[in-house]
Amino acid sequence: MSKRQRSVVLTERGLERLEEAIRAVEVERGGRFTHEQLERRVQERSDFRDSLTSKTISKIRRQIPVQVGSIQVLFQTFDLELKTTDYGLPEASAQVETQPTQPDKRSTPKIDWGEKPDTAIFFGRAEDLATLNQWVMAEQCRVVTLLGIGGIGKTSLAAKLADQIYDQFDYVIWRSLREAPPLDEILVRLIQFLSDQQETEINLPSRLGERIIRLLHYLREHRCLLVLDNLESILQAELAGQFREGYEGYGELIHRIGEAEHQSCLLLTSRECPRNLALMAGEQLPVRLWSIGGIDSKSGQEILKAKGLDLDEATSQGQELIRRYSGNPQALHLVATAIQREFLGDVDNFLEEEGTAVEDVQSLLEQHLSRLAILERSILFWLAINREPVGLDDLMEDLLPPVTKQEMRRALRGLTDRYLIERVGKQFTLQNVIMEFVTDRFIEQISQELETQQFDIFHTHALNKATSKNYIRQSQTRLIVEPISNSWKKKKLPEENILNTLKSQTKYSESYSIGNFISILIHLGLPLNQHEFSNTVIRQRCFKGEISATSTFLTVNL
């Protein structure tokens, strides 16, 4: 008898018995088995000389033909007696895998690309693609999520991956969540497509849980690739990782797909990670998270050249653009277009201008800033003021009004989940492009508050810090104090009126506002002795080399 004839598959009853036994042990041990862990469990059982690879275990649970002895070993590992009703011959159409290291070539897959973008022009990301391909195809992860800041290339990477692997699936479907479609609508479309239009909204169960069960049936029945792009569109603005009201069902859908045994993959892209998804993910688990960083210099140069910029390989123009925009592909596309239109292709002229200087890039980042809670925005402003990595305790000392360490950690976690801040050891900082953008927004808001005398962050944030290193204080003066002072001078703001307003407001007993006011006057070369500063607190203001000995009337509390 040939090997093909000896191969059998689990029946539905046999699969049910096996899964129940596995779940019972998982409950006892307090965690789910990966197929690799199941392989080790088999090897640890001294009763058996045979062992099973994780690949064979995956085949058994997916009802792919294997030798009956392999099924018997797995059953005995969980103290189950293999009965004749637990297995049977595969259908005539079933094919035995002949190359275990490579997935089978499927027949022509049924595809609905939806809003999937074109990837004809795609640069770099070879390592990202290799890892994701390994996760989806070789390790058969059930949920893979691509995470990163807006414009970093999550959608393009997902599309390129799909282009490379789609022919290994029976069904492929791509859906964008940008317009926040209701979950019922998405489920109906998925089930209709995977059932070859045999199931419609009319005959589907009305309850969410039952519809998810129907979807899982098809994910087990067929090898399916489902892509849900722009998951952040259904997440709350000010609570990172929480689903919007009315969209909580998406969390249940993702959880069930990640938890249930099936042969399909859900690929997600998002600017932030849902909390329930983060709890399920792990390096050895069937749910994985992949954070996407900026592209490398070579790929960045290719993007700029594709946009028509004439870059000399011997100069550092391209490298400086890539550094300034933190390797963000969309930002590089936008900035290259701006250089062509507004600077006639002259990269040097563009680089001479301070700040982000590109309206479209600012619009991209504004989408992130508009979603933040007050404390999260405050932290971003302080990171822009500090201009170098800073630890949690130092940030807490800066903040007004004071917050608890728990509140601080929660806000930092929210910013980290949104990929707006970076960790450097135990410290936090901003990417270059975000640093410039947040600095610009800080300057704009301070200038507006001085003009309207409706003060908020002028009270709660310092324009420069006495405790900063000398070169950092110089940067704070050049990049923050100077543009604010220039705006003050241009608008000819009334010094005395502003000072009286600041002194009359006692919102915070140790406000930064008087020190900020003095910083502006000193930078403009305006005399201080025309103003009364007695009985005021001057916080985080360094006077070294700036105030003469005759200015002793100042009550300085640093």
Secondary structure string (H, E, C) spanning 423-482? EECCEEECCHHHHHHHHHHHHHHHHHHHHHCCCCHHHHCCCCCCCCCHHHHHHHHHHHHH
- Statement: 110-291 belongs to CATH 3.40.50.2300: no
pLDDT at residue 6 greater than cutoff 60: no
Q: Which residues contact 512 (CB under 8 A, 6 or more apart)?
A: 400, 458, 459, 460, 461, 462, 463, 539, 540
Q: What are the tens digits of pLDDT across the range 111-149?
A: 999 889 888 888 888 888 999 999 999 899 999 999 988
What is the pLDDT, as a whole number, of residue 85?
Answer: 81
Say what the alpha-carbon torsion angle 29, 32, 37, 39 is, to the nearest 10 degrees: 100
Q: Which amino acid is at 66?
A: V
Contact 211, 204 (CB under 8 A): yes
Exposure string over 312-339, b if 16+ CB within 10 A, otherwise e: eeeeebbeebbebbbbbbbbbbbbbebb
Contact 442, 461 (CB under 8 A): yes
Q: What Cα–Cα distance (Å) separates residue 553 from each residue in 244, 501, 514, 518?
A: 55, 21, 14, 14
What is the pLDDT, as a whole number, of residue 88?
Answer: 81
Q: What are the tens digits of pLDDT across the range 46-83?
A: 454 446 777 788 788 888 888 777 888 888 888 888 88
What's the CA gap between 387 and 432, in Å, rounded? 10
How far out from the chain centre does Cα 148 lie? 3
Contact 435, 290 (CB under 8 A): no
What's the CA gap between 540 and 527, in Å, rounded? 20
Instruction: Judge residue 512's burial from the number of C-beta atoms within 10 Å of its C-beta, 0-12 exposed, 13-18 middle, 19 or more buried.
Output: buried
Strongest mean pLDDT among 19-33, 371-385, 415-429: 371-385
Strands (E), 23-102: 66-67, 87-88
Residue 183: name the closest of 121, 275, 249, 84 by CA.
249
What is the pLDDT, as a whole number, of residue 540?
Answer: 59
Cα angle 136-139-143, degrees, rounded to a multiple of 5: 50
Q: Residue 92: pLDDT band by 50, 70, 90 thresholds?
A: very low
Contact 143, 265 (CB under 8 A): yes
pTM equals 0.62
Q: What are the tens digits of pLDDT across the range 387-422?
A: 888 999 999 999 988 899 999 998 998 888 777 888
SS3 175: strand
| Residue 92: how many other CB atoms lie within 10 Å | 5
Residue listed under structure tokens 């420069």 = 464
How far out from the chain centre does Cα 223 lie? 27
pLDDT > 70: percent of the chain: 86
Residue 502: name the closest of 490, 515, 491 by CA.
515
Q: Which of these ranges, 136-145, 151-160, 453-462, 468-477, has the smallest mean pLDDT?
A: 468-477
pLDDT at residue 303 greater than cutoff 90: no
State which fold the 372-524 domain adopts.
Answer: Arc Repressor Mutant, subunit A (1.10.10)
pLDDT at residue 446 greater than cutoff 90: yes
pLDDT at residue 110 greater than cutoff 80: yes
Q: What are the tens digits of pLDDT across the range 254-284?
A: 999 999 999 999 999 998 889 889 889 988 8
Domain boundaries, the chain: 3-88, 110-291, 297-357, 372-524
Cα angle 385-387-388, degrees, rounded to a multiple of 5: 135
